[in-house]
């Protein structure tokens, strides 16, 4: 299948590589062109523009950073270049409002739209073991399903409305952030009473909270290790903002989201935007007058 892939950051590069390895004809584009060189070595074509990557493609995937990037690149360049009957798959975490806008604009041009954001860190993306939530019209989903299965260990169907996958992703990231903030505060409490974060979290990870999120992020907090970032704190701040905005449209109170928003904002003010968002533990420790 002729595929375009837009956005080759820490997640997108591994995803695009798996499509190339799956035997597809993949043309990639990234704003920083040098990032595409490893994919070129695998056999991908490198486009000079996002529109060029979309021309002649049966399916275009994107993994871009935020609403602004998706609106600029997809609505401004990619969508006008896609032929009728092509399908665009969005893997980025975007607002519910933008998911609706993308659905409407694609319908108007006769182009399919599938919302398929992912859960997983860069190493999971590279291994093709992401968890993916996907929603869109059945015909479009059927067309791209074999491609999604190259990227994910599991594709979780969320129905025919693209908004559904978007809100599941936003809500899932909120839960991750809330878990990190809870571990950060609890670890600060134990440290204040002389119990090391490592000792406390080891008990939690092997008893009450043995899920991957607690093990991955709890391990980072225990070691005070937040670089290199698998998911930047600044992106966590963005995603919690998306959750709050989605909640406001339906008048859903989310008091924990407000606490998490403020903690992330405090972290950004400390200059921690580029570290992993497990670094929320540093703010919790600072509030308790504990050394990092």
Determine what percent of the chain is predicted with pLDDT higher than 90.
99
Query: Residue 291's pLDDT band (boundaries 50, 70, 90)?
Result: confident
Can you tell me the distance from the alpha carbon of 281 to that of 292, in angstroms, rounded to the nearest whole number?
Answer: 9
**Quick check: 221 pLDDT over 70?**
yes
Per-residue pLDDT of 135-160, as tens digits, reads 999 999 999 999 999 999 999 999 99
Say what the pTM is: 0.94
Per-residue pLDDT of 106-129, as tens digits, reads 999 999 999 999 999 999 999 999
**Quick check: 292 pLDDT over 70?**
no
Which residues are tagged catalytic? 169
Mean predicted confidence (pLDDT) in 76-85: 97
For the chain, domains (ranges, CATH) are 2-160 (3.40.50.720), 167-287 (1.10.1040.10)
pLDDT of residue 239: 97
Can you tell me the distance from the alpha carbon of 159 to that of 124, in angstroms, rounded to the nearest whole number?
Answer: 25
Per-residue pLDDT of 234-272, as tens digits, reads 999 999 999 999 999 999 999 999 999 999 999 999 999
């Amino acid at each position: 299948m002729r595929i375009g892939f837009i956005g080759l950051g820490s997640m997108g590069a591994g995803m695009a590589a798996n499509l190339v390895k799956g035997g597809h004809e993949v043309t990639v584009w990234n704003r920083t062109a040098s990032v595409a060189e490893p994919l070129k070595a695998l056999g991908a074509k490198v486009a000079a523009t996002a529109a060029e990557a979309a021309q002649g493609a049966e399916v275009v995937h994107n993994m871009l950073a935020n609403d602004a990037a998706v609106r600029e690149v997809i609505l401004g360049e990619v969508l006008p270049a896609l032929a009728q009957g092509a399908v665009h798959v969005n893997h980025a975490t975007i607002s519910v409002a933008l998911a609706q806008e993308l659905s409407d604009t694609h319908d108007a041009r006769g182009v399919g739209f599938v919302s398929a954001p992912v859960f997983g860190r860069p190493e999971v993306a590279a291994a093709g073991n992401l968890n993916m939530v996907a929603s869109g019209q059945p015909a479009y989903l059927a067309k791209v399903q074999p491609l999604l299965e190259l990227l994910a260990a599991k594709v979780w169907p969320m129905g025919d409305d693209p908004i559904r996958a978007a809100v599941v992703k936003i809500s899932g990231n909120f839960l991750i952030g809330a878990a990190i903030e809870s571990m950060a505060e609890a670890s600060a409490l134990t440290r204040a009473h002389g119990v090391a974060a490592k000792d406390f979290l080891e008990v939690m990870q092997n008893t009450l909270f043995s899920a991957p999120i607690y093990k991955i992020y709890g391990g980072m907090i225990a070691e005070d290790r937040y670089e290199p970032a698998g998911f930047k704190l600044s992106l966590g701040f963005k995603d919690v903002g998306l959750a709050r905005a989605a909640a406001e449209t339906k008048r859903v109170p989310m008091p924990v989201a407000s606490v998490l928003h403020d903690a992330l904002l405090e972290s950004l003010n400390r200059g921690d935007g580029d570290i992993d968002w497990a670094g929320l533990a540093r703010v919790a420790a600072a509030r308790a007058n504990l050394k990092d």
